Structure 1
Amino acid sequence: MSNVDLQKIRKQAENHYRNGDFFCSEAIVKTIRDTFCPTMPDIVIAAASGFPVGLGGAGCMCGAVAGGTMALGLIFGRTEAKSERVTTAMRLSKELHDTFSKRHNCLCCRVHTRDMELGSPIHMDQCIAFTGEVAEETAKIIIRELKK
């Protein structure tokens, strides 16, 4: 884990979004998957497709944070009923939520994009930056937790 380049993760996620390959949540899940669990099937990226633009365009929770939360679940989530792993995934997701919320005052996509035209340069710049930031923050959490 010491050889993971956080700036590279940030740039990869940003480029997936910037190049039009994926939206925020998908870009983060793909980047984290490719970095930490590359043998995981592509279907996990598809599972992130409903989250962009505040949960499918509804303007609610930031899709980047949703993607980061999904990525944390890929690494620390549970696959067996009643597994205690859920508490780890939930704790780390709350940490990601709180970090983003503290930096940007809320998680609401509608608030962050108020008065912006969807797809405009200012909208794209902000969302690309959020995507990179959340991918990097998610990777930091994963690296820290895997070292324990």
Structure 2
Amino acid sequence: MNIKKEVSVSKVAKDAEELYRGGFFCSEAVVSSIRSNFELDIPEEIIAMASGFPVGIGRSKCLCGAVSGGVMALGIFFGRTKQGDQKVEKNLELSKELHDWFKVANGKNALCCRILTREFDMGAGAHKEQCIHFTGLVAGKVAEIVIRELNLVNTDVLEYA
């Protein structure tokens, strides 16, 4: 798989937020932003695979859809396609890193959509804005992990060097 060698983490996050605002849900926006910013030569259908995860998996309000999309995106890079391939261990480690990081980063010590959104009316703008923010956070963190693990370049760092 071809991968772009220099990526802006802040652009990945911003694009994910804009994709959410434009009509994708959280999980779709994360996967789409990662796919496009890393210029992955994989079909668009990968985004469709993320379509069942929004609002805590099919609106069940369980696991945050942004995190689900982030785990899917990590799997694109680090997941396995053959039984017995031990690289699955790295993917599990990185997925747990994302999980643990988001639990702290969201300020609510949770990954359950029901808990993350309990103070909001699900139809209200404040709910959507929080989810847009979480989507950007997760997409950015996934980009950071991929850049770190594959020894790529975060162009944001170059801007401030």
- Please confirm whether the aligned pair reaches a TM-score higher than 0.5, indicating the same fold: yes
Identity in percent = 52
Unmatched segments (≥5 aa) in structure 1: none
Equivalent residue, structure 1, for 2:111: 107
Could you list the per-position Cα deviations for residues 5-46 of structure 1 after superposition, in whole angstroms to 9, with x for gaps in the alignment? 1111111000000111x1000000011111225210011111
3-state SS of paired residue (2:129): helix
Letter of the 2:52 counterpart: G
What's the offset of the Cα at 1:3?
2.8
CA deviations over 1:38-62 (Å, ceiling 9, x no partner): 2100111111011000011000010
Runs of 4 or more above 4 Å deviation: none
Larger Rg: 2
- RMSD across aligned C-alpha pairs, in angstroms? 1.4
Asked whether the 8 Å contact 2:31–2:69 carries over to 1, the reply is yes
Of Structure 1 and Structure 2, the greater helix share is in 1
The answer on 1:147 being equivalent to 2:151 is yes
Which one-letter code corresponds to 1:58 in the other structure?
S
1:124 maps onto 2:128 in alignment: yes
Unaligned segments of structure 2, at least 5 residues: 153-161
- Scaled by the length of structure 1, the TM-score of the pair is 0.94
| C-alpha distance in structure 1 between counterparts of 2:93 and 2:70, whole Å | 13
**TM-score, with structure 2 as normaliser:** 0.87
Number of residues paired by the alignment?
Answer: 147
> In 1, are the aligned partners of 2:7 and 2:38 still within 8 Å (CA)?
no
